[in-house]
Structure 1
Amino acid sequence: MAQFESHFPLKNTRTHEVCGASAYAFAYALAGQVCGANGGAALWVREAWHGTQINPVGGAVYLDPSQLLIAQAPRHIDVLASTEEALRSGHVAVVIAELTQPIGLTEGRRLQLAAQEGNATGLCILPEGMGNNAAQTRWHCTPVFDEGNTAEDSTLQNWKLIKNKSGTLAAWTVKWNAQTRRISVVSPTAQR
């Protein structure tokens, strides 16, 4: 099975979850890695009532905007149905579902089965505390603010694995390398 990066246990053909202030960056990085590896497309599904819009050009550092399709569904249940059908179709490499309500075990299991059937990776962006037991992994992602950092790097993030069905939990400080379009794990700064 393909993985997001050798450091991160994000298996292909499974559905994962992410929450936190850097959840969108995590989603873009996942889409960039998976679509960059196989040349496929990513689908981002969200409810139409959102006052904000996803701008594919804004995530161009992670993913070619021409590889991102954005769908707006009228209700939460329609987001889940669209996500399931897209995962099952085999026509997209990654499906990102932006959810505002919890999903039940049955719906979560259906997403897992659809990802396996369509050989795709699913990612649900959820508010904190709304995880589902069927998710393969759950991530909490936040930006890292370092006042002492003189480098012009605004991409440092803390990715914490808070649920993992097939391994241990861990946390990484990471940054996105725009030239290689890959995630780099950053070692903690030593105190002298």
Structure 2
Amino acid sequence: MTTFESHFPPMASRTHEVCGPSAMAFAVALGARLGGKVLWVREAWRGDQINPAGVIPYLDPQYLLLAQAPSHLDVLASAEEALRSGSVALVVMELTQPVGLTEGRRLQLAAQSGKTMGLCILPEGMGSNAAQTRWHCTPIFDDANTAEDSTLQRWKIIRNKSGTLKAWNVKWNAQTRRINVVSEAAQR
């Protein structure tokens, strides 16, 4: 039987992908779980902003480095250099276009070289074959639990080079700063 702990955090020194409405929560929770600095790179043309105060329940904002790049290729190039340097625990790439096989392979090699984890946040259906795993994350709306906890989510591995595809219902525990698996029976 495979456990959540054997899959999260995902394999070290690799690049992974996440999609779905809760992808950003996955990225922040992963950064908190890994500890250390998180570099978050996104295209500068985007109108929305990441508010560092919004990550406080997960991660101390002083460990979140936000970078804006002029284009999709510049996001990938910046991420590749950061992965190779090994100076951060996690490099998050917020992308709006697919990652080609060559670019994906370069990210994998850079992650292995720098012993750093990479995470691409992608729109659904834009995954790369080079990614070690791809996760799909969605919130679970439950009227009974929403009032007391809005962090209930469904995290599902939809692609895994190791072969195991699995899904878990999880929620963030702000006191321990960890993701806890919630049994479906406990949600009722």
**Which bin holds the TM-score, normalised by the shorter protein?**
over 0.9
Q: What aligned pairs does 1:149-188 form with structure 2 within 5 A after superposition?
A: 149=145, 152-188=148-184
Please state how far the C-alpha of 1:151 moved relative to its aligned partner. Answer: 5.6
Is 1:23 the counterpart of 2:19? The answer is: no
Structure (1 or 2) with the greater helix fraction: 2
Structure 1 moving runs of 4+ over 4 Å: none
For residues 191 and 107 of structure 1, what CA distance do their matches in structure 2 show? 41
Match of 1:127 in 2: 123
For residues 131 and 15 of structure 1, what CA distance do their matches in structure 2 show? 12
Per-residue deviation, residues 32-88 of structure 1 (Å, max 9, x unmatched): 1101xxxx2110000001111011110111111000000000000000000000000
TM-score by length of 1: 0.92
Match of 2:87 among 85, 91, 99: 91
Please state how far the C-alpha of 1:8 moved relative to its aligned partner. Answer: 2.8
**Which consecutive residues of structure 1, in runs of 5 or more, have no partner in the other structure?**
none
How many residues matched? 185
Work out whether residues 45 and 98 of structure 1, in 8 Å CA contact, stay in contact via their aligned partners in 2.
yes
User: What SS does structure 2 have at the residue aligned with 1:189?
Assistant: helix
Match of 1:34 in 2: 34
TM-score by length of 2: 0.94
**What's the Cα RMSD here?**
1.7
Equivalent position amino acid for 1:65 in 2: P
Please state how far the C-alpha of 1:90 moved relative to its aligned partner. Answer: 1.1
Q: Percent sequence identity over matched residues?
A: 75
For residues 187 and 95 of structure 2, what CA distance do their matches in structure 1 show? 41
Match of 1:52 in 2: 48
User: What SS does structure 2 have at the residue aligned with 1:148?
Assistant: helix
Change (3 A) 1:67 1:161: same
Match of 1:145 among 123, 141, 144: 141
For residues 44 and 132 of structure 1, what CA distance do their matches in structure 2 show? 19
**Which consecutive residues of structure 2, in runs of 5 or more, have no partner in the other structure?**
none
